Structure 1
Amino acid sequence: MPLTAAAALIGGVLSLGTPQPADAAVPDTIPLKITNNSGRTDQVYVYDLGTQLSTGQQGWADANGTFHAWPAGGNPPTPAPDASITGPAAGQSKTIRIPKFSGRIYFSYGQKLDFRLTTGGLVQPAVQNPTDPNRNILFNWSEYTLNDSGLWINSTQVDMFSVPYAVGVQRADGSTASTGHLKSGGYNGFFSALRGQPGGWANLIQTRSDGTVLRALSPLYGVETGALPSTVMDDYVNRVWSKYSTSTLTVTPFADQPNTKYYGRVSGNVMNFTNSAGAVVTSFQKPDAGSIFGCHNLLDAPNDLVRGPISRTLCAGFNRSTLLTSASQPDTNAADFYLDTVTNHYARKIHAQMADGKAYAFAFDDVGNQESLVNDGSPQQAYLTLDPLS
């Protein structure tokens, strides 16, 4: 989704696919079973923060699923009320209730997160900023939407790769679906692989002064902070622009609408897309690495039926480096992804460590259904499993 560097944001409805038909009305809250398989002994704190869909208010939910609106914030930001829920001890589980929200379930180890409120609402942790008060805390979050059509819940690495977890849902027939688990050794495997990737990729890793690995920033934040060279994608972009100066890129953005096609050609350093009638429907300037990794700016994707879907397709093609190997996009064959030497190596290495191959390693990783998402129209229970840091 084109939401800066998150597949969903507080205040935005997570809209990922078509829900399964609900067998019954979705209740106002459903249980979320949190299982601590991390192997860590430090205290876990859990937060359920989001936008109440019935009112549009931002706030938080307690362990019973009761909504609490945030009080007015200030400038500079003022401390938010303590919304933490004590999580399960190592090897234990705890069940809370989550309401109809579009939001995030944060969890932290050993220390509560520091949330602040501005006049515009909640300030999210931004650990790409070295002065962020949450910079040295081990934490992560899942994103979910629960509404009248069902539950969507994902694991995400769009902003960062950090302490691992998986999500799941129990369906009305008693079966469960889950995603987000790493392979055995996948946590350390990812960081080892990133350290071994030349070109500045190792600079994405953040550690505490005691040497504890905290996370790897997304390449978008790497470019924005100077940890990753801003020219890291230039060679590939130049080759794409050269290829489609003399040939045509065909984009079929909707899997269920195979006759809806757009045709891209580069002219005057701009890629123009025409429809089947030959009319120009949208144009893109040559994107930089930040636009590619963030799927924004020069690859902005408005929530429309033309530019947004084309941009989603381009963004996925650039991140996965499939635009030179196939002139028909999107290429949804995972075997074709990340084969060029210039690619989103962060996303490549995350997918390589996932047990089911699925991840949200960039905003439009759902192109071709590569995302780590489960959904159900009649959810009986949701799951959040904290996995080992190994």
Structure 2
Amino acid sequence: MPASLTIQLVNQSTSENVYAYITGLAIQHGMARVFLKADGTSLYFPGPPPAGKILQPLTENCAIPLGPPGNTVTATIPQMAGGRIWFSVDDKLTFLRNPGGPGGGAALVEPSVLNPSDPNADVDFAFCEFTLNNDQLFANISYVDFVPRLPIALTLQTHGGAVQHVSGMPPDGLDKPQTVLRINTQSAHGTLKGTVPAASPNQLVIGGEAFARPTTADILGCNSGPFATGGGGGASAVRNAIIPRLAAAFQRGCVAAADVSEHPSHPETFYRAGGPANHYARIVHECNLDGKGYAFAYDDVQPDGGEDQSGKVNAGDPRVLVVAVGGGGAPVRITSTFTFGNTSMIKLAEVA
């Protein structure tokens, strides 16, 4: 295995401003923290910040500009463990130094999608991971921490002529295109068409109500961001009618389905393979014997005349409610009734 390796960084985005950062632990330098500088070849070993200081910026420019769409930039990496190739679009990333890093150098504070106060919170970024040592190069696209909006693909050519390729996601990542979105409010407001204004691509306007792009927490909770309901001067009546149906479409992964002309839609459009959805809810429904169960807020949303998904029973003239425990699926029906003293009793039979 060579002491270094050539990496070609290709800008397949539509942006003129894409930057790469290459970080890791330098195996040939005592596992010290290392960056490649902006020229793609020189090494930068960030030292610790001054005594008593934390969260200090890097002292070298390590943003490798990739140039216009279609351009390729060549970088050369040394043997590295725990390596990452980071990419950001339209804005540069901020890496910060703390004391206590390997080899007496800096401990690195990397960009995080989980910390809303992180200086990179509003930057579109992604990374892939690699290790280059005496035995091999190992690289992969990682979705363990998060799924980025900026897709990454890998191609490895060996000295023997073999080629390995990982395609990654399409250009829109998880943002699947939606040609038509209509919400049946199932109320006096009727069916409303949704559009994404050209001037506000992160907004969906339905019936005059603007809905901002939801976060994952907004979607899973159904009660924050664009899904916050209210009355008494809060959300309007039409917005309150839209929210449950729009939230359910996100949860079930059918909000962007090209073959769904109106929401709420039918169960065959829910939780399709390979699509973004609330997979906790999907698994809950799959594991119930009849596929029914209240797995998220608004799981009782269904089309007019559609089959209930929430696992509810209701009647205006109830006679008896049978609640069975133990996993038998309550496979019973009432076969007859009789009176014991002043109490009406029932006989139950299993349903085949």
The TM-score, its normalising length taken from structure 2, stands at 0.47
Instruction: Kindly name which structure, 1 or 2, has the bigger radius of gyration based on alpha carbons.
Output: 2
**Quick one: higher RCO (CA 8 Å, sep 6+), 1 or 2?**
1
